[in-house]
Amino acid sequence: MFRPGQRVRVRNPRKTGHVRTPSFIRGKTGVVETWVGTFLNPEEIAYGRTGGPAVHNYRVVFRQHDVWPDYAGSRGDRLYLEVYEHWLEPAAGNLRGG
């Protein structure tokens, strides 16, 4: 499990088929904002496998400047995205991104 304030990187596996993590966020580093809950994995339900197990989901906050190389908005702009645990790995440091 991850805890709020922890820095995480979104994994970029060579996974085919239905996934819920958009490509634009893969490889990006953010900070866990909150634990959302546990849910049946939509990537399993998509193939009719509804028996579980349930997986953790987190709301992760990213700096827009980290997500888009040519971002023209304010330095303070943030992107919030809900990501399943198997798409996250710990990243260096655990301070909230400034």
Partner 1 sequence: MRGYHDIGGQPAGRVRKLPETFDGWEAQAEIVRNLLADAGRRMTYVDELRRAYESFGAEKYKALSFYERRVEALLYLLEEKGIVSREELDARIAHITLRERERQRSEPKPRRAR
* Residue among 20 and 96 whose Cβ is closer to partner 1: 20
How many CA atoms are closer than 13 Å to the CA of 37, on its beta-carbon side?
A: 2
Please state the closest distance from residue 17 (CB atom) to partner 1, in A.
7
Please state the closest distance from residue 81 (CB atom) to partner 1, in A.
10
Please state the closest distance from residue 67 (CB atom) to partner 1, in A.
8
* Residue among 35 and 71 whose Cβ is closer to partner 1: 71
Q: Exposed, middle or buried by CB within 10 Å (0-12, 13-18, 19+), for 32?
A: buried
Instruction: Kindly report the number of other CB atoms within 10 A of residue 15's CB atom.
Output: 12
Q: Interface residues with partner 1 (CB under 8 A)?
A: 14, 16-18, 22-24, 42-43, 45-48, 50, 68
